[in-house]
Structure 1
Amino acid sequence: METILVATDFSDRSDLAVARAALIAAKSRAQLHLIHVVDDDQKPRIVEGETAISKQILQEEIARLNQIDGLQCTCDVLLGDPFEGICGFADTINPRLLVIGAHRRRVLRDVFVGTTAQRTIRRARWPVLMVNAPPSQTYRNVLMATDLSENSRRAAAHLAKLNLAPPEDHTLLHIIDAPARRLIMSDVLAEDQMTRYLAELQIEAEQDLKDFAESLSFDDCNRVARQSSGATSAAVLQSAGDFDVDLIVVASQGRVGLSKTFLGSVAEEVLRRAARDVLAIPPDLPH
């Protein structure tokens, strides 16, 4: 039986992650495994006390979760650095999915960079789901942003295997980097030629996206190619709002260059700013 791993720090944010993971596990008939990492860089008596309390809290939580029909839930308390503990344990069991709570947001300083959540997503060899919104039902509207690269293709193929929602509830989004192309072509094209060029670019992108979807057996999904006049991450988030999605999917690595879209650093910006759940899938998953 495949395992969905949930890292919890017992905060309200983690409670949302546990609730979402339980919904996914019940739908996919996967085992749910909760872990909590106790920082061992403290006095031994403090570590001992926190470990005992953590075990009690987790046991109470899995007793509640095991009452859900068809759900099998287990737990572990680990000692060490939270980031290293989560990643090390995940490496050991190779979960179907790692679920974490949202990062903290502060008004005066964005502390996402360098946090356990961000470090885990960068390091992950498995799909990582960051839960931002209270879950009430299984995912109904999933948006996957893609740059049509091979890395993105592998991530999309794995998304289909996760079966978080039916194919017809997925939207494949491709953001066209029109401003960069406009800048490059502005010295050689008149304004009317530029207009035609961008129209042709739109048609080409729509065909490429169609071919991309068909190669993944995503024939029933919605397809959207949009020209962005600003940051690609902002275009992805704007599209998520326009389509009222409850899950945004990004590949955690991708190409960089003229056509750089959301992958890599832009994926981090989506993770940083999204109020909706975000699933980050690495292109090279262990078998």
Structure 2
Amino acid sequence: MQDHPLMVPKKILLATDLSCRSDRALDRATILANHWNAQLVVVHALQGSIEGEDLPSWRRKADPRRAAWQRVQQDLRDANQLDVQIVVEDAEPSALVLSTAERLGCELIITGVARDETLGRIILGTTVERLLHKSAVPLLVVKRRPRALYREVMVASDLSEGSRRALEVALALLPAAHVNLFHSFDVPFRGLMSNPAAVREAKRDDALMECRAFLAATPGLAQSGRSVGMQCESGSVESLLLELLQTRDIDLVAMGTQGRGYLSGRLLGSVALNLLNSLPVDMLVTRSPRT
């Protein structure tokens, strides 16, 4: 069965803990919601029951649900032209985000990271990792302060169906962006070769041929009528992308999963989590639809 054509979302979900760590995700969500003319669903999970109900009124703390509503409204005061729906419930955060996305038909989930260590690794946090494993819709993890729409997108691909889906989603969501396909390949036993440079170039030619075939077999690319650049290099995908980000003005890295409920495949698995934790750039993670 052929998938339905991909379109820009009409409803996106922002998962926020209302801390300063979520501000960048909030700004990105409002930029995208405005650009797409989409409804923005803001979800915040209260954790822990409301205490102090038997205390005198002057000793009771403010109702946390009401306080969270007010905080969301304050954070969105500059986005009053948006169609916003706020969901605040006492629940486990990832479960609330996933159930709300399914119940309301949200087509993209946007979230931030738990911590961004200075000159160090980015800590995704338990909620983000659970969303990565279980979300049926694309997940956008925002790390950088947004200034404009995404313009330069790199799709990290192992030439699997999961990464094909990631490419198609990136093309559909960002029709004005410049999209490139990045593929890393191995040169085994390089130290035992008499001419490793020649072997590497031959492997690179083979990888480029495989990438061309991959792009030619991607329906969403043909439907878009756009051209996609290719970059093939030998080595560790994590190291290569880190180097590339230092030399290229890349706004977003996209990657896919196989849709089996957890990140998998040669590129994905633990490598995907390393990329998500180490790359200092926004990441778009997409699951393949179940067959």
Q: Is TM > 0.5 for Structure 1 vs Structure 2? A: yes
The alignment-based identity, stated in percent, is 25
Q: After superposition, what is the alpha-carbon deviation per residue over 1:152-172, rounded to whole angstroms, capped at 9, x for unaligned?
A: 11222222222x2525x1111
C-alpha distance in 2, partners of 1:274/1:44? Answer: 44
Which residue is 1:199 aligned to?
A: 201
Aligned equivalent of 1:232: 237
Number of residue pairs aligned between Structure 1 and Structure 2: 268
How far has the Cα of 1:103 moved from its partner?
2.4
Task: Note if contact 1:16-1:132 (Cα within 8 Å) is conserved in structure 2.
Answer: yes
CA distance in 1, matches of 2:122, 2:250: 25
1:187-220: per-residue Cα shift (whole Å, max 9, x none)?
A: xxx413x543322211011111122223332752
Q: 1:106: how far off? A: 5.0
Q: 1:174: which partner in 2? A: 183
Whether contact under 8 Å (1:4, 1:98) holds in the other structure is: yes
Give per-residue Cα distances to partners, 1:70-127, cap 9 Å, x unaligned: x3222111211112211221222232210001221458x9784762112211221111
Aligned-residue RMSD, C-alpha = 2.8
C-alpha contact 1:38 1:47 (8 A) present in aligned 2: no
What amino acid does structure 1 have at the position aligned with 2:206? Answer: E
Q: Which residue of 2 aligns with 1:280?
A: 285
Which stretches of structure 1, 4 residues or longer, exceed 6 Å deviation after superposition?
A: none
Q: Which runs of 5+ in 1 are unaligned?
A: none
Task: Give 1:222's aligned amino acid.
Answer: G
**Helix, strand or coil: the match of 1:43?**
coil
Matched-pair contact (CA < 8 Å) for 2:132–2:139:
yes
TM-score (norm. length: structure 1): 0.83
Gaps of 5+ in 2: 1-8, 54-59
TM-score (norm 2): 0.82
Q: Which residue of 2 aligns with 1:51?
A: 65
**Counterparts of 1:113 and 1:221, CA distance in 2:** 30
Mean alpha-carbon deviation: is it higher for 245-254 or for 1-10? Answer: 245-254
2:89 aligned partner? 78
- CA-to-partner distance for each residue in 1:242-287, whole Å, 9 max, x for gaps? 222011111144654xxx23x122111111112211111112279x
C-alpha deviation, 1:59, in angstroms:
2.9
Is the aligned partner of 1:212 residue 2:223?
A: no
